[in-house]
């Protein structure tokens, strides 16, 4: 797949993910594009695979390009707010942070783990948390 096709498919997938979930994450877009299978995603979350890069088709350069283009699209065109998200392992035992890339490069790890939310969604969630806190304090 050439880069132009990759960008078009990523934008279409990102729009579908935003409609369905109210936010966009790189992992969800990869799942929507079928570049990441649910089975491989689960294997990564349960730490049966050491890093997500291992189960993605293509090179690290292609993944970095994908992440940067997705970031530019959601920031500049969709006007979404970045929110760093910690990805932790699933399963029994101690939860451990998950890696996205083989060498754990901080910049790429951050690109992969950032979620993008609408300002309206972020404001609504803040209000919900404030209301929950007030309810707890009154009880």
Q: What residue spans define the domains of the chain?
A: 3-138
pTM of the model: 0.84
pLDDT band at 28 (very low <50, low <70, confident <90, very high): very high
Provide the pLDDT for residue 9.
96
pLDDT for the residue numbered 123? 63
What does pLDDT average to over the chain? 92
In this prediction, residue 56 carries a pLDDT of 96
Query: What's residue 128's pLDDT?
Result: 75
Kindly tell me if the per-residue pLDDT of 89 is higher than 70: yes
Task: Please name which of 23, 32, 135 lies closest in space to residue 74, comparing C-alpha atoms.
Answer: 23
Average pLDDT value for residue range 68-94: 95
């Amino acid at each position: 797949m050439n880069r132009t096709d990759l960008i078009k498919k990523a934008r279409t997938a990102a729009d579908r993910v935003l409609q369905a979930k109210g936010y966009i994450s790189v992992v969800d877009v990869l799942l929507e594009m079928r570049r990441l299978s649910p089975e491989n995603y689960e294997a990564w979350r349960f730490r049966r695979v050491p890093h997500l890069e291992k189960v993605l088709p293509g090179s690290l350069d292609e993944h970095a390009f994908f992440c940067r283009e997705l970031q530019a699209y959601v920031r500049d065109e969709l006007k979404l707010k970045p929110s760093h998200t910690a990805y932790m392992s699933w399963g029994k035992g101690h939860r451990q942070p998950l890696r996205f890339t083989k060498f754990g490069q901080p910049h790429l790890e951050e690109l992969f783990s950032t979620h993008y939310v609408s300002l309206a969604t972020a404001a609504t969630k803040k209000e919900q948390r404030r209301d929950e806190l007030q309810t707890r304090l009154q009880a």
